[in-house]
Amino acid sequence: MKKPIKLQWKLLIYLVTFMFGILALLWVFQIGLLQPLYEYNKVSVAKETAANIEKVINNEDISDYIASLSEQNDLCALVITDSQMINTNVTGCMINRLPYDKLVEYYSLAKENGGSYLSKSELVEMSFNPNAPDESFVSKYKGDKNIVYTKVVEDESGLVSIILVNTRVTRVNAATQTLSDQLFMIGCIIFIATVILVLFLTKKIVKPIVKIKEATNNLAGGKYENVSKKDDYLEIYELNKTLEYAATQIQKADKAKRDLIANVSHDLRTPLTMITGYGEMMLDLPDEKTDENIKVIVAESKRLNLIVNDLLDLSRLNENKIELHKENFNLTECIQDVLKTYESYSRQEEFHIQFDFNRPIMIYADKKRIAQVLHNFIDNAINYSNQNKRIEIRQILKDNLIRIEIQDFGQGIETNQIELIWDRYYKVDKEHNRVSQGSGIGLAIVKEVLELHQFNYGVKSKINEGSIFYFEMPVLESE
């Protein structure tokens, strides 16, 4: 795998490439193409001037026209007709210094070439006037390129005229040199600016990320110290917040795991101690092999089974692995069936459980799970009733909703605990001194089951007066 590169180096490479790309583009347009474009422009103007002169070649004021055109476009022209020879008298006009045979040569080349001919040459090569070139003229325009555009015009009567337009392309070396120097300086400035920018970005982006990375080393252990500063970017700030949140969640999960192990082992140990205790006693003392003792072992084994089943249930509910098997069933009958299982217990313990209902109600839900919910609520009502051994169960029909209430008159729950009792293994009484069976995760299971059904549920409670646990579901039909 390719080794990841440090962000600041990447930034530097990208920015430098980008800046120098722009500089290269500037160089091509400003320097590389300057001379050719300038020359192309000059040639175009010369051709255009020749075409304009052609249009007025027979006019009387042609010489004025040529003079103004030449001045306008910074060039000179020579027009030779059968009757006259008109030229612009401008200094630096090489065309006026050309020997006769050169003119003839241009003429013949133009004729050969279909009527026009473009000559580009160094001034020195062209200063071959037998009268000897003017030295000062040559030295002044040395190095410039001379362009002579020759056009041969023939009118209807067969009269031939020659138009010669001469322009000079000055060397732009000096200008390009200046531009090159400028671009070099700009390049240096840009490079320094890029390095400064990268250093700045590194400070603003990379450093906080490195700090966060260091701070996350202990994240797996639920530790994260917020390293964001006031002037950090929002994203960095938010990343810090998210990591902080993750750390607290990890801590919570860790604590929940530890609590769970502690509680589960406690809950499992009690029946296990009873089973081994009674078993050993029966082995050692043959007289103790009584039905009563065997019943204790069976009861404790059942309790163990219940705890393990509850735990499995909850973990499957938490992972959404449980599917509801919904059906239409008679809720009132279901409650009555659940209550039957408490009959002998109520008789023994002198518990009074009362069920109030008007008429049987049908609902659409998972019957087994609703029975499980009822069992959990009733178990709790019994467990936390203390001496007040009375439980009331009500079936209340309101509009299209049926509400089941399970009320006890026992110890009640403090207001600040009400939200927490639905959490896994939360206990108001930390001492865990319950006498009856139960896994200690009853309400967490109730919560998962009712939420899976999307049924409304809750509790109203007053300390030392008792609690009312309730849940509501839509009525399918009432019989």
Return residues touching ligand ADP (CB under 6 A).
376, 380-381, 383-384, 408, 410-413, 421, 426-429, 438, 440-444, 467
Question: 129 vs 388, which CB is nearer to ligand ADP?
Answer: 388
What sign for the dihedral angle of Cα 174, 179, 180, 184? positive
Q: How far apart are the first and last CA of the chain?
A: 71
Question: 436 vs 478, which CB is nearer to ligand ADP?
Answer: 436
Alpha helices in 133-172 (DSSP H): 135-141
Question: 167 vs 385, which CB is nearer to ligand ADP?
Answer: 385
Q: Which residues on adjacent β-strands are paired with residue 354?
A: 392
Question: 250 vs 306, which CB is nearer to ligand ADP?
Answer: 306
Alpha-carbon distance of 434 to 394, in angstroms, equals 26
Write b or e for each residue in 230-260: b if 16 or more Cβ atoms lie within 10 A of its Cβ, otherwise e.
eebeeebbebbeebbeebeebeeeeeeeeeb
Question: 151 vs 424, which CB is nearer to ligand ADP?
Answer: 424
Q: Tell how strand 390-398 and strand 361-366 pair up.
A: unpaired
Question: 217 vs 309, which CB is nearer to ligand ADP?
Answer: 309
Q: How far is the CB of 446 from ligand ADP (least distance, A)?
A: 8
Question: 329 vs 377, which CB is nearer to ligand ADP?
Answer: 377
Looking from the CA of 25 toward its CB, the CA atoms found within 13 Å total: 6
Q: Is 121 helix (H, G, I), strand (E, B) or coil?
A: strand
Question: 251 vs 383, which CB is nearer to ligand ADP?
Answer: 383
Residue of this chain nearest to ligand ADP (CB atom)? 442
Q: Which residues on adjacent β-strands are paired with residue 139?
A: none
Q: How far is the CB of 288 from ligand ADP (least distance, A)?
A: 31
Q: How far is the CB of 436 from ligand ADP (least distance, A)?
A: 9
Alpha helices in 358-438 (DSSP H): 367-383
How far is the CA of 41 from the CAs of 113, 121, 352, in angstroms?
22, 16, 112
Alpha-carbon distance of 129 to 97, in angstroms, equals 7
Question: 353 vs 413, which CB is nearer to ligand ADP?
Answer: 413
Q: What residues contact 436, with CB distance under 8 A and at least 6 apart?
A: 379, 382, 383
Q: How far is the CB of 276 from ligand ADP (least distance, A)?
A: 23
Q: How far is the CB of 372 from ligand ADP (least distance, A)?
A: 12
How far is the CA of 23 from the CAs of 12, 14, 194, 223, 370, in angstroms?
16, 14, 13, 50, 76
Q: Tell how strand 390-398 and strand 352-356 pair up.
A: parallel
Nearest to 114 by CA among 77, 153, 166: 153
Question: 148 vs 307, which CB is nearer to ligand ADP?
Answer: 307
Q: How far is the CB of 257 from ligand ADP (least distance, A)?
A: 18
Question: 197 vs 428, which CB is nearer to ligand ADP?
Answer: 428
Contact 391, 351 (CB under 8 A): yes
Q: What residues contact 434, with CB distance under 8 A and at least 6 apart?
A: 383, 440
Q: How far is the CB of 424 from ligand ADP (least distance, A)?
A: 8
Q: How far is the CB of 315 from ligand ADP (least distance, A)?
A: 15
Question: 271 vs 410, which CB is nearer to ligand ADP?
Answer: 410
How far is the CA of 410 from the CAs of 10, 426, 431, 433, in angstroms?
70, 19, 18, 16
Instruction: State the DSSP string of 129-143.
Output: -TT---HHHHHHHTT
Q: How far is the CB of 442 from ligand ADP (least distance, A)?
A: 3
Contact 374, 335 (CB under 8 A): yes
Give the alpha-carbon dihedral of 229, 231, 236, 238, to 10 degrees.
80
Q: How far is the CB of 443 from ligand ADP (least distance, A)?
A: 3
Q: How far is the CB of 413 from ligand ADP (least distance, A)?
A: 5
Q: How far is the CB of 274 from ligand ADP (least distance, A)?
A: 18
